[in-house]
């Protein structure tokens, strides 16, 4: 093996955090490559020329056995016992006779030899000449390969033997385009200017699926977010690479790449390894395009049947990389797009998602990849539940009941079900879900989670306890906002805070203390920053204040607001709880006035038009009160105590 040549091969661009297929060669690949190398003429000096046909043939292996052969066999036997199976353990040594070995087994060395032999001089030369001239030569070669293949196929449509050679040339020409991702600034404008992009996308309709898979792999590589960034670059270079990528993506979109890729998803048979990788690369292209321009998500869903394909794909009984990737892509499509969420409801997506999630009611995912799949499906549902129409479909499909059952099982899905319930029950449109939650006997399980009563079989792979607590507080806030006064459901909720000597109220005070401790640290940092700005003679504007407020929310103010909102409600509705809270706060030199101060900050920063409550959000006196109005009533009551 020529080590110098091996290390001259430039690295392909890294994929960042994106999903990657396994890099290890499959047994089929190795067999194919061994077969190819066995057909290549030997380049060793011992090769002989056949007098009959002039073809170079390897020398004959048969020869007489000698004593030297026996010694060689003994050495081979010794090598079999080398530590770690190192093929050269007893061969490589320094001048003093110490053995080091190469660290590679015989099989690993065979693999390297196969790749070294298959590389060829021409490949290295092409990779090293990525100048503008070399790029144009590469694109011209590709164009000729495409034209030749089209010509041969049109002349001999029923005789594959006539165009099989041109198909092989086209395959090689496509693979030669992969290194262009290393020189995006030079190559991408040339790809668009020369019309190669249109030629490339046109091959997505090729009769040979293998050619289509080659095209998909090339486009996936060219659209990667890290193109041209494998070496350290300054800001100007990064902007140039981004502009080149934008130009390429615009060219791809002009040639209807989204529609053609989705059409090819129906052509590929994932039971075949090559087709499975093709599907993986298609999903990767969509992720690349959405990462560069998130607004394409609406176009992808409205102009293609992509969402229907994703919903069908996640229902697969067996889990694999593509099923996980489909769930991730669906989560991206619904993350910030209202139209896509509504479209999910129209395609019975809520019912499909609940069916998929129901399999995790009594069992955990088998590995980390399936856990990620489950999380992405839950995230998709949570995003969709931001729309009132989806909340109605979720309730009609008995989603509340399923989430409560998942909470009871206390498996990995427990934390995600709590989060989903928080989304489903929030806002004025969550009133019906709040009633359904009480009817499904969800209070007992919810307070069990709040008090930290976790079974021994509960795993620790889920979100941190603080995230669960945040969503539990959100659910309780929604219940107090949405359950109608003096109804059996609201009475049952208040009774939970009275039982066991007000232990739930004490738990809320404990959470409140932790939030205050975390918030105090950030408040000190903000006060220091304010003093520095004022010392420099700078004014503190509204933007700066908003930034500081968001920092405080992340540091514990959001939790504090939810806790004090709940405590204010229970204090107003039950005299015994209010007296108990006043006693407990007094022990820490605090009072109900501290809760009032938190609610004032909450009121001043809440959206003016945000609606909550059980009343219908219509006209007249039945209109539900806004969140600000509710907070004002609570503040006035506590002030009067």
Q: What single string gives the DSSP state of each residue in 39-96?
A: HSPP-STT-EE-TTT--EEPPP------HHHHHHHHHHHHHHTSGGGBTTTTT-B-TT
Domain identity same for 472 and 371: yes
* pLDDT tens digits, 279-336: 999 999 999 999 999 999 999 999 999 999 999 999 998 999 999 999 999 999 999 8
Average pLDDT on 339-361 reads 96
Using alpha carbons, select from 440, 602, 581 the residue that is nearest to residue 497: 581
Domain identity same for 272 and 176: yes
Q: What three-state secondary structure class fits 312? A: helix
How far apart are alpha carbons 345 and 340 in whole angstroms?
A: 9
Instruction: Report how many domains make up the chain.
Output: 4
* pLDDT tens digits, 444-486: 999 999 998 644 444 444 444 578 999 999 999 999 999 998 8
Q: What three-state secondary structure class fits 457? A: coil
Domain identity same for 286 and 154: yes
Please enumerate in sequence order all residues whose Cβ is within 8 A of that of 148, keeping only pairs 6 or more positions apart, or say none.
Answer: 166, 169, 170
Pairwise pLDDT comparison (228 vs 11), residue with the higher score = 228
Average pLDDT on 534-561 reads 91
What pLDDT, on a 0 to 100 scale, did the predictor assign at position 29? Answer: 54
Domain identity same for 464 and 373: yes
What pLDDT, on a 0 to 100 scale, did the predictor assign at position 19? Answer: 63
Q: In which band, very low, low, confident or very high, does the pLDDT at 508 lie, cut at 50, 70 and 90?
A: very high
Residue 421 · residue 475 · CB < 8 Å: yes
Average pLDDT on 113-128 reads 46
What pLDDT, on a 0 to 100 scale, did the predictor assign at position 610? Answer: 58
Domain identity same for 403 and 321: yes
What pLDDT, on a 0 to 100 scale, did the predictor assign at position 123? Answer: 41
What pLDDT, on a 0 to 100 scale, did the predictor assign at position 99? Answer: 43
Average pLDDT on 145-150 reads 92
Query: Domain for residue 623, yes or no?
Result: yes
Domain identity same for 153 and 118: no
Query: Domain for residue 278, yes or no?
Result: yes
What pLDDT, on a 0 to 100 scale, did the predictor assign at position 606? Answer: 85
Average pLDDT on 481-495 reads 93
Q: In which band, very low, low, confident or very high, does the pLDDT at 110 lie, cut at 50, 70 and 90?
A: low
Query: Domain for residue 252, yes or no?
Result: yes
Domain identity same for 259 and 363: no
Query: Domain for residue 496, yes or no?
Result: no
Query: Domain for residue 339, yes or no?
Result: yes
Of 439, 459, 482, the one marking the end of a domain is 482
Tell me how far the alpha carbon of residue 31 is from its chain's centroid: 34
Residue 314 · residue 377 · CB < 8 Å: yes
Pairwise pLDDT comparison (25 vs 432), residue with the higher score = 432
Residue 475 · residue 425 · CB < 8 Å: yes
What pLDDT, on a 0 to 100 scale, did the predictor assign at position 17? Answer: 53
Instruction: Name the most confidently modeled range: 109-118, 365-374, 451-460, 611-620.
Output: 365-374
Q: Average pLDDT over the chain, rounded to whole?
A: 81
Domain identity same for 124 and 146: no
What pLDDT, on a 0 to 100 scale, did the predictor assign at position 22? Answer: 52
How far apart are alpha carbons 449 and 561 in whole angstroms?
A: 20
Region of poorest pLDDT, from 46-60, 288-302, 489-503, 581-595: 46-60
What pLDDT, on a 0 to 100 scale, did the predictor assign at position 462? Answer: 43
* pLDDT tens digits, 263-284: 999 999 999 999 999 999 999 9
Residue 467 · residue 415 · CB < 8 Å: yes
CA torsion 84-34-5-175 (nearest 10°) is -120
What pLDDT, on a 0 to 100 scale, did the predictor assign at position 16? Answer: 47
What pLDDT, on a 0 to 100 scale, did the predictor assign at position 278? Answer: 95
What pLDDT, on a 0 to 100 scale, did the predictor assign at position 10? Answer: 45
Residue 37: pLDDT over 50: no
Q: What three-state secondary structure class fits 336? A: coil
Instruction: Tell me the whole-structure pTM to 2 decimals.
Output: 0.76
Domain identity same for 94 and 136: no
CATH number of the domain to which 327 belongs = 1.25.10.10
Kindly report the CA angle at 363 between 360 and 366, in degrees rounded to 5?
A: 95
**% of the chain with per-residue pLDDT over 70:** 73
Residue 403: pLDDT over 60: yes
Of 63, 98, 128, the one marking the end of a domain is 128
How far apart are alpha carbons 424 and 400 in whole angstroms?
A: 8
Domain identity same for 408 and 316: yes
Query: Domain for residue 60, yes or no?
Result: no
Domain identity same for 619 and 574: yes
What pLDDT, on a 0 to 100 scale, did the predictor assign at position 126? Answer: 46
Query: Domain for residue 450, yes or no?
Result: yes
Q: Structure tokens of 210?
A: 């293998």
Of 128, 159, 192, the one marking the end of a domain is 128
Domain identity same for 317 and 381: yes
What pLDDT, on a 0 to 100 scale, did the predictor assign at position 160? Answer: 80
Domain interval for residue 82: 1-39+76-128
* pLDDT tens digits, 71-95: 444 444 444 444 445 555 444 444 5
Query: Domain for residue 502, yes or no?
Result: no
Kindly report the CA angle at 64 between 59 and 69, in degrees rounded to 5?
A: 95
Residue 603 · residue 631 · CB < 8 Å: yes
């Amino acid at each position: 093996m020529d080590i110098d040549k091996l290390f001259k091969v430039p690295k392909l661009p890294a994929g960042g955090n994106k999903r990657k297929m396994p890099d290890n060669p499959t047994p089929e690949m190795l067999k194919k490559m061994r077969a190819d190398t066995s057909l290549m003429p030997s380049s060793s000096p011992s090769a002989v020329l056949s007098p009959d046909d002039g073809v170079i043939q390897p020398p004959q292996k048969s020869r007489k056995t000698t004593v030297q052969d026996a010694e060689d066999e003994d050495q081979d036997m010794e090598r079999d016992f080398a530590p770690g199976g190192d093929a050269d353990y007893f061969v490589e040594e320094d001048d003093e006779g110490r053995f080091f070995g190469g660290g590679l087994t015989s099989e690993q060395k065979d693999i390297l030899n196969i790749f070294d032999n298959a590389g060829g001089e021409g490949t290295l030369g092409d990779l090293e000449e990525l100048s503008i001239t070399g790029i144009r030569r590469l694109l011209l070669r590709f164009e000729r390969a495409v034209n030749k293949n089209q010509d041969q196929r049109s002349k001999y449509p029923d005789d594959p033997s006539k165009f099989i050679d041109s198909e092989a040339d086209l395959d090689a020409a496509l693979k030669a385009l992969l290194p262009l991702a290393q020189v995006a600034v030079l190559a991408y404008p040339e790809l668009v200017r020369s019309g190669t992009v249109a030629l490339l996308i046109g091959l997505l309709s090729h009769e040979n699926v293998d050619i289509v898979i080659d095209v998909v792999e090339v486009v996936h590589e060219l659209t990667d977010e890290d193109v041209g960034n494998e070496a350290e670059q300054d800001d100007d270079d990064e902007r140039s690479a981004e502009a080149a990528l934008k130009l390429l993506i615009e060219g791809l979109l002009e040639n209807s790449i989204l529609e053609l890729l989705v059409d090819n998803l129906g052509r590929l048979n994932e039971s075949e390894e090559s087709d499975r990788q093709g599907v993986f690369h298609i999903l990767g292209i969509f992720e690349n395009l959405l990462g560069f321009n998130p607004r394409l998500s609406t176009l992808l869903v409205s102009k293609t049947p992509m969402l229907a394909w994703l919903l069908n794909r996640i229902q697969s009984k067996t889990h694999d990389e593509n099923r996980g990737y489909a769930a991730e892509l669906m989560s991206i499509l619904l993350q910030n797009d209202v139209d896509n969420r509504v479209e999910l409801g129209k395609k019975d997506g809520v019912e499909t998602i609940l069916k998929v999630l129901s399999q995790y009611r009594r069992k955990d995912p088998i590995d980390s990849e399936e856990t990620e799949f489950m999380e992405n499906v839950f995230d998709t549902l949570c995003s969709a539940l931001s729309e009132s129409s989806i909340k109605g479909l979720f309730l009609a499909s008995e989603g509340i009941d399923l989430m409560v059952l998942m909470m009871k099982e206390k498996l990995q899905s427990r934390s995600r079900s709590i989060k989903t319930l928080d989304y489903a029950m929030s806002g004025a449109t969550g009133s019906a879900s709040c009633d359904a939650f009480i009817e499904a006997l969800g209070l007992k399980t919810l307070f069990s989670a709040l008090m930290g009563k976790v079974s021994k079989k509960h795993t620790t792979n889920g979100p941190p306890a603080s995230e669960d607590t945040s969503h539990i507080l959100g659910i309780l806030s929604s219940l107090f906002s949405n359950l109608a006064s003096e109804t059996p459901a609201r009475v049952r909720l208040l009774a939970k805070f009275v039982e066991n000597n007000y232990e739930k109220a004490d738990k809320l005070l404990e959470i409140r203390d932790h939030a205050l401790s975390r918030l105090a640290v950030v408040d000190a940092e903000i006060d220091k920053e304010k003093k520095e700005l004022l010392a420099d003679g700078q004014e503190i504007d509204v933007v700066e204040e908003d930034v500081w407020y968001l920092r405080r929310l992340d540091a514990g103010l959001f939790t504090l607001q939810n806790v004090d909102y709940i405590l204010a409600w229970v204090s107003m509705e039950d005299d015994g709880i209010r007296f108990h809270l006043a006693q407990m706060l007094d022990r820490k030199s605090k009072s109900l006035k501290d809760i009032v101060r938190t609610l004032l900050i909450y009121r001043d920063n809440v959206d003016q038009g945000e609606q909550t409550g059980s009343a219908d959000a219509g006209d007249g006196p039945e209109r539900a009160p806004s969140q600000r109005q509710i907070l004002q009533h609570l503040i006035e009551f506590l002030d009067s105590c």
